[in-house]
Amino acid sequence: MSETIVRERMSHRSNWTLATLSAAARLDRVAMGMLRAALVIVLLWIGSLKFVDYEADSIVPLVANSPVMSFLYHRPAEYRTHMNKEGELNPEHRAWHREIGTYTFSHGLEVGIGLLIALYPVKPELSALGSCLLILMSCTTLSFLTTTPEAWVPALGDANHGFPFLSGAGRLIVKDFIMLGAAIVTLADSAKASLLRA
């Protein structure tokens, strides 16, 4: 193959790469909108589910074991004897959860944050507040990795248990690193938009 043909092919690849990168670079506003929309959808959806008892049941070990949040429950040390499996209906357990405040605590927080973030087109400063609250919520949720025994695979005979082997709850919690990163990005974007309007 001649040197001229090789140069032409390399130049063609280089032009194609530059064109592709240029097109991708113009996606930043679309990507920001998609990121914000994804946060709003997840927060509204999961937050709405918190009004249904089964979803509130799932956060009991997280809150009960947290030194920062366990005060929200009246008797957090008793949670293990009142756990409900997903889809299980145990009226006695549900009554206990109502008594200690499981369901009251979980209502509305994520929905409120999602609605604030959704206000970006009309009130970017309120969207920035929502992103700040999401940063705090994500940091709190991530702290559960260090305080909740149920975040790790228990030692029930398998050699793979404890750190770094995340249980289902742990895998759910660790995804908040993505929420944290997205909240920081949307905070910066909302702050810029708010300053431009001032």
Q: How far is CA 134 from CA 36, 125, 178, in A?
A: 12, 14, 11
Q: Facing residues of 117 across strands?
A: none
Q: How far is CA 112 from CA 5, 29, 62, 165, 195, in A?
A: 61, 24, 21, 33, 23
Q: Domain extents for the chain? A: 51-106, 108-198
Longest dimension (CA), the chain: 82
- Contact 65/144 with Cβ under 8 angstroms? yes
Phi and psi (nearest 5°) for 151? -75, -15
Which pTM was predicted?
0.81
> 3-state DSSP call for residue 166?
strand
Amino acid at 29: R
Q: How far is CA 79 from CA 36, 99, 112, 133, 141, in A?
A: 35, 12, 27, 27, 18
- Contact 62/144 with Cβ under 8 angstroms? yes
Helices (H) and strands (E) in the chain, counts: 10, 0
| pLDDT tens over the chain, length 198 residues | 566 665 666 666 678 888 888 888 889 999 999 999 999 999 999 888 888 877 777 777 887 788 887 777 777 777 778 887 778 888 888 888 788 777 676 667 899 999 999 999 999 999 999 999 999 999 999 999 999 888 899 899 999 988 999 988 899 899 999 999 999 999 999 999 999 987
The b-or-e profile of 164-185 (16+ CB within 10 A means b, else e) is eeebebbebbeebeebbebbeb
Direct distance between the N- and C-terminal alpha carbons of the chain, in angstroms, rounded to an integer: 62
